[in-house]
Amino acid sequence: MIKVAIVGVGNCASSVVQGVFYCKDAPKVVSLPFPDLAGYGAEDIVFVAAFDIDARKVGRDLSEAIFAEPNCTFVFCPHVPETGVKVQRGPTLDGLASHMLAQASQDSFRESDAPALTEAEIVDHLRSSGCEVMINFLPVGSQDATEFYAGCALRAGVAFVNAIPVFLASDESWAARFAAQGLPLLGDDFKAQLGATVLHRSLVSLFELRGVTLDRTYQLNVGGNTDFLNMMDPSRLNNKRQSKTESVQTAAQGRIADGNIRVGPSDYVPWLNDQKVGYVRLEGRVFGGAPVNIEVRLSVEDSPNAAAMALAAIRCARIALDRGLAGAIWEPSAFLFKSPPRQMNDRDAHEQLLRFAGKNAPAG
């Protein structure tokens, strides 16, 4: 088993938990990337701890909390059994944008009045639960809160998977801290299984492959979950825009001028719920300077799209633990994340992940 703690029991966490039990029980699993990684399947994941700050989740069993409002993602495994894991009240720090509280009457967020656990209490909880891997699903912009939980993981001796655009694995100082403690760090900011950024990268690569000059491009995303509501605060978006933009930039052979590329969340549309709609446009020139334009609209459920990558990242973290690897684990991160320690094209990154998983069978 791979013993996992979840930070942030939102839509992505819901899809991850559903996904584990779906893989245990479904007669046929649909579209799971990497069904086997060094002998580990998604069904080998077990949840031992969870942390959140919403009053409708704190104190409830994880099996109930993942379906509590404001979660609104696609339900593909409605009968998640009781886990015995009670969601603990973590510290808020910067994990809640001020405008989210103003929306509380619209059923978007309700901060729990339960006392928050201290750092020492969280570390003790991680140790007593036997946790091996912590995965961070805090809202975009949660710099302080993410660093707080990463620090807890370091103290508790737990590997860390950073799902969001706070730069840890791609930051040399944080990678060094995990290396010094002999712990793996994977991140940052998941590429969805088939998301707007992956599609955008593929189209940019196609321009390069066919010798087409790319002059300008954009990717505009809208959605209706609390993540998009959270990102209505522009001050929380800097890292997100940087992560998505640089992921697209690295697919091009020559850097696109800053004024000719725009990538990132654009608006919050409540009735979309967890559906994310991405609009991608590329403008360029074929032979002789003749113009060519491509426009694509992608619509996908946001959280299952990320959960597919999360299930792989958790297993890669456990593989790294088995092998005594520490610091930023770049091989799987290159394929799974937008801002990994080393950027590379998706085909090469895919090969690196497969080589990483195929080195040895898991110990024990």
Residue 261 CA to residue 103 CA, distance in Å, equals: 32
| Mean pLDDT to the nearest integer, 112-138 | 98
How do residues 8-63 score in pLDDT, each as one tens digit? 999 999 999 999 999 999 999 999 999 999 999 999 999 999 999 999 999 999 99
Out of 1.10.3720.10, 3.30.360.10, 3.40.630.30, 3.30.450.20, the CATH code matching 196-301 is 3.30.360.10
User: Which residue is it, tokens 């590379």?
Assistant: 344
pLDDT of residue 99: 85
Beta bridge partners of 278: 221, 298
**Which CATH class for the 2-191+304-357 domain?**
alpha beta
Region(s) of the chain under CATH 3.40.50.720: 2-191+304-357
pLDDT of residue 359: 64
Could you give the CA distance from residue 318 to residue 183 in angstroms, rounded to a whole number? Answer: 10
Q: Where in the chain is the domain with CATH 3.30.360.10?
A: 196-301
Q: Residue-wise over 104-127: b if at least 16 C-beta within 10 A, else e?
A: eeeebbbbbeeebbeeeebbebbe
Task: Give the model confidence (pLDDT) of 279-333 as tens digits.
Answer: 999 999 999 999 999 999 999 999 999 999 999 999 999 999 999 999 999 999 9
Radius of gyration of the CA atoms of the chain, in A: 20
Relative to beta strand 275-285, strand 213-223 is antiparallel
